[in-house]
Structure 1
Amino acid sequence: MPLPTDPAGRHRAIAETFTERARGVSDWNAPAPVEGWATRDVVRHLVEWFPAFLKGGTGIELPAGPSVEEDPVGAWTTHADAVQALLDDPETEAKVLSNPHTGDVPLPQAIDQFYTADVFMHTWDLARSSGQPDRLDSDFANQLFGGMEQFDEMLRSSGQYGPRVPVPETADITDKLVGFIGRDPSWTPPA
């Protein structure tokens, strides 16, 4: 079933998948596909960067949850629920996120474009580091890959993505997308 295309619906679906993977993690200290990260750092990244970005661009503060060190699943679900509540609030439609790098963007679109897409891609990291199913929704992965590929040089220079990892032309879209953002699609946790 394809992902919804509205920001609230897409976030709900992507966050639910991430939550399922988080609940399936048995070792939060296991290495993750991002160099220097443990599995818990995937959650830490998402629950730390977005609240600061949101507050800086809108003044909106998300409620704090438990610490990622003590309760990664609780930290994630508190955060994801707060983002979903924001997207479900009809007043959010009229809000704008202002950022010197992005300009003024309607808040639902900003969340969808910058944050929900990040959750989607990091779902692969969490799944791969914990040995769970890691294939991403192919339609949305294609959409992201096509959009990002045209800004390859700019994205690389931002420091947010590692060097592109080459994949065979016949690779599936999940492998193409994770290779594009600097992950080795054949990465597996050390035994």
Structure 2
Amino acid sequence: MDFDWISLQRTARDEFGARVAMIVQWSGPTPDTDWTVTDLVRHVVVEQQWVPPLLAGKTVDQARSDVASLHGDLRAEWNRYAHAASLAWEETDLQAPVHLSFGTFPVEYYLRQQTSDIAVHAWDLARAVGADERLDPTLVEAVWRELDGQRDMLADSGLFGDPVPVEDDAPLQDRLLALTGRNPR
């Protein structure tokens, strides 16, 4: 099955944004024990800040000057940068090259990576704020297919915790979360 990753990016953005809108306790814990809710949201906002300059053809070093410090209202910052990133994705040829910190790849590779990151962090934020943890099923399926084929790379990257054991017949969202080191239960 082919997925429309531009549409999935908007879905992931909306899933994360819905949870951002529910935040009451910004200093609260998240499933990533090293991050508070503020740290988690800040991480995802900063990732969105990088999208437009990188898609415009800048290298990471060149784009660094386009990434502004975040101030104050992270809800407003999320909305601003998430929508700017979505617009950049929509306006960029998915086969164009993008310069990432670890090499040059087609834009679609970066889009899939970013969409997967936002989707998993939408669950993290839902868990942190006590919101509905169910993610869009098509988004879950696409991210699962993307990440399941990268098990070795994920394990070696240090970006996620070790996979959490779950039953082979567990719901797909549970298997996705477990793959990224999260305990879905």
* TM-score calculated relative to the size of structure 2: 0.82
Q: Which amino acid aligns with 1:168?
A: E
Matched, 1:103 2:101: no
Check conservation: 1:65, 1:78, Cα contact below 8 A.
Answer: no
SS of 2:98's equivalent in the other structure is: strand
Cα deviation for residue 185 of structure 1 reads 1.3
Aligned residues with identical type, % of pairs: 25
Give the number of equivalent residue pairs: 177
Q: How does 1:4-153 map to 2 (within 5 A)?
A: 5-52=3-50, 55=53, 58-59=57-58, 61=63, 64=68, 66-67=70-71, 70-89=72-91, 92-93=92-93, 95-99=96-100, 101-105=102-106, 107=107, 109-153=108-152
Is the CA contact 2:6–2:90 (under 8 Å) kept in the aligned structure 1? yes
Instruction: Write the letter of the residue equivalent to 2:100.
Output: N
- Residue in structure 2 matched with residue 189 of structure 1 by the alignment: none
Deviates more, 1:73-82 or 1:8-17: 8-17
Which residue does the alignment assign to 1:177? 176
SS in 2 for 1:156: helix
Native 8 Å contact 1:156 1:163 kept in 2: yes
CA distance in 1: counterparts of 2:11 and 2:143, whole angstroms: 16
In structure 1, distance between residues paired with 2:102 and 2:154: 12
Distance (Å, rounded) in 1 between the aligned partners of 2:51 and 2:10: 20
Tell me: CA distance 1:128–1:135, structure 2 relative to 1, closer, same or farther (3 Å). Answer: same
RMSD: 2.6
Is the 1:141–1:174 Cα contact (8 Å) retained in structure 2?
yes
C-alpha distance in structure 1 between counterparts of 2:41 and 2:184, whole Å: 20
Unaligned 5+ segments in structure 2 are none
Alignment gaps of 5+ in structure 1: 187-191
Q: What's the offset of the Cα at 1:140?
A: 2.9
Stretches of 4+ aligned residues off by more than 4 angstroms: 52-57, 60-66
